[in-house]
Structure 1
């Protein structure tokens, strides 16, 4: 029998020691987290697993839970540093594809919490623009708590669940968070370089951020493009309205994150599919995509082509996400390309993002064998078929000009040890 619960009673359904899955994406169950943080005694000995990521979601404060509760997740951010040191937050070094396997083979939950649309005439509740890992978590859960949210757009091509599947129901009405980003001249230059590398009819993964947003604008003159990505944003709408997309293709992502206008539009865009990560990050599916182009970002790239996506000046600030899955697949797909895009400098141009070699303060999120091309505002380093020496020279050539002599000198010293 279903139990209807008010928002201020959500934590009452928990028992000490239970295992709970809390999704990330654009539909984080904020009402559940708010009640859990307001009444931390209900989180005693809980084990929470979450995919909440920095930049999209509203994070929650692990330190507001009972000290015995332990949260595990895929992403790090500065607000979690103390909790990690105290053992209250466990960072899992997995790609999205690796997390899919973890959920399939290792996870068991007493409860999964999710937001869904109100049921339709057939009793189906849509997961709307944020599916992510929920299909897997639902299969591994003994109980489900559904937050029924009329603000969640019903997307025809998204995963749905039957209303009868839910054990606990809470009706809320919470607007979805919006994701917006700005642009600048270096970003537009990077996007222009990348657009020149993408042929009509390519299948594209490009995620969220400044470069993907600028790249969508730069690709409006292309035709027959196909999107198969983890995250999709307002660039999807821009490309569709520009006539750049192949409308016979099922444009696919696991999360749609963007403006309110995008959410409303996506509910009418029938070629859109919002599916679980077991589909969007499946290696066999991705490798089979002809002319698959993966565009991902990095915090720094060294002269070997190794990419750090997770550590900034020695501090863990993010996670690998789906980049390793997409980059490796694009390297192996027929006529595919794995592209890494980044600004040449940071801190107002005082520090180079092209470095001689990743040091002990960095981490290799993508190996050198997973990268075809590296793009900065200064150009494109084509690493395909290049020797170690040629790769280094190509990367020096797209660094900010002021840093090239020092990079060349550092590389010559490295060469003496090779």
Structure 2
């Protein structure tokens, strides 16, 4: 298929230009919103041309940075390219690019880490400024000017509505048969909000197309570039053990009648451990599963290709290169099963609570009382951001957090006396799982939680130290939560000083 066959609006064909010409519309200090969510559906040509332009400014001694708002993480052609030239003064709401992470941690880029469902309300109330330019990747433009999103919806429609100028990248690598998979439904700024009529992941409530004021489109750029996601590594022994504990928990809950045999809608965070859990579900005796989640990863795609999963709602894909090719070649298998929505809908707390999601997310570390750190190393070094895990954890019917018990070849315990950064408070954390076991914290007091987490989840190397810390905490006259302040963060101090918590 020729590129221009994807552009079926005659007026917009006249706005075809190079990425360099499009990037010239972006000025120093602009607030720029882009498509993109978990390495999918982000613009790839214009950001690279913009990075080149910024470098030229910097080489002349002139300043040039933008304020960058996305859906979530993007890819090296966007975050990486702009970080290379120190072209971003402010970034929100989620990033996984290592170069941008370095800029954030070195203070070159100010970073807003916020719940993904909450970025749109923050923008609408004016907290993030007025958007100057939106750069949105689409798979095609219809004759009436409506837009077919690509592999991510994210905040696209809000950016299209809000920006003063719009640049469209039409990516012919994206499968043309994506048309019809999206469900664009907008939350308005007025109160009270309209009721979002979703009671099942398969419900479609909006339009298959994004819309934009065509007068605002200043440039259309043709591209043919793949989404850039790293391959998932094969599940290791720890990931398989974590998955096994979760499967046993599900079987027990089904036996007790707490959840139905076909489960409740599943949400799964990104990463190898989360993917291992989905793989375990696909191998288990579960059928007619449904997902209400943010991203569709390799394991979930495999389930959708069979009778294991009959419907999945998300805002994007996050597929390895191999599975992305498989998806494009076999998209007819998924067209009626997958719904891609704006992230404000995919992560909406009210819907998550209403349909009874089972949330499964990763943690960097947990403490013995059930607080979870999912964003920072040693309390201050940003990894990726909270993403959507908080949207789901607080509102899920069952909230599960997963992590191997050790990191850095045993030099770090993932179960600690106290986390130095709390992203998920103990009230939002119901289940903690490591390869050592599972702790069901529902209904337990802080002391009961501590004993169970130490017993079931801590690695034997660190279990005696955690038990000793707990006993010291009990000496505190106020022992509702037996916290021993003098030693609470001593493990992290020791790692910073010596390179090991042991």
TM-score normalized by structure 1? 0.89
Which whole-Å CA distance do the structure 2 matches of 1:410 and 1:62 have between them? 45
Tell me by how many angstroms 1:396 deviates.
0.5
Are 1:230 and 2:294 counterparts?
yes
Q: Which of structures 1 and 2 has the bigger CA Rg?
A: 2
Tell me by how many angstroms 1:81 deviates.
6.0
Are 1:145 and 2:196 counterparts?
no
TM-score normalized by structure 2? 0.75
Matches within 5 A, 1:19-418: 19-25=31-37, 26-40=40-54, 44=64, 46-53=66-73, 59-62=79-82, 64-65=84-85, 70-75=89-94, 79-80=99-100, 83-84=103-104, 88-106=108-126, 107=128, 108-120=130-142, 124-153=146-175, 154-155=177-178, 156-158=180-182, 159=184, 160-162=209-211, 165=214, 166-182=217-233, 183-198=235-250, 199-220=261-282, 221-245=285-309, 247=310, 249=311, 251-258=312-319, 259=323, 260-266=325-331, 268-269=333-334, 270-290=336-356, 292-313=357-378, 314-330=380-396, 336-358=397-419, 362-397=420-455, 398-417=457-476, 418=479
Matches within 5 A, 1:1-20: 2=12, 3-20=15-32
Count of equivalent residues: 405
Q: Which runs of 5+ in 2 are unaligned?
A: 1-10, 58-62, 185-208, 251-260, 480-502
Show CA shifts across 1:228-276 (max 9, x none).
Answer: 001111222221234222x3x4x21011111221344345411210110
Tell me by how many angstroms 1:55 deviates.
8.2
**Larger deviation: 216-225 or 258-267?**
258-267
Which whole-Å CA distance do the structure 1 matches of 2:64 and 2:170 have between them? 26
Is the contact between residue 72 and residue 91 of structure 1 (CA under 8 Å) also seen in structure 2?
A: yes
Is the contact between residue 296 and residue 323 of structure 1 (CA under 8 Å) also seen in structure 2?
A: yes
Which whole-Å CA distance do the structure 2 matches of 1:266 and 1:56 have between them? 26
Which whole-Å CA distance do the structure 2 matches of 1:44 and 1:56 have between them? 20
User: Aligned with 1:60: secondary structure?
Assistant: helix
Is the contact between residue 104 and residue 136 of structure 1 (CA under 8 Å) also seen in structure 2?
A: no
User: Aligned with 2:228: secondary structure?
Assistant: coil
Tell me by how many angstroms 1:33 deviates.
1.3
Q: 1:85 to 1:204 in 2, by over 3 A?
A: closer
Counterpart in the other structure of 1:333: none
User: Aligned with 2:119: secondary structure?
Assistant: helix
Which whole-Å CA distance do the structure 2 matches of 1:219 and 1:66 have between them? 43
Q: 1:300 to 1:55 in 2, by over 3 A?
A: farther
Is the contact between residue 139 and residue 150 of structure 2 (CA under 8 Å) also seen in structure 1?
A: yes
Show CA shifts across 1:54-107 (max 9, x none).
Answer: 88986324455477x623222366534664477641111311122121123225
State the Cα RMSD in Å: 2.5
Tell me by how many angstroms 1:338 deviates.
0.1
Q: 1:407 to 1:348 in 2, by over 3 A?
A: same
Q: 1:240 to 1:322 in 2, by over 3 A?
A: same
Tell me by how many angstroms 1:122 deviates.
6.1
User: Aligned with 1:4: secondary structure?
Assistant: coil
Q: Which runs of 5+ in 1 are unaligned?
A: 331-335
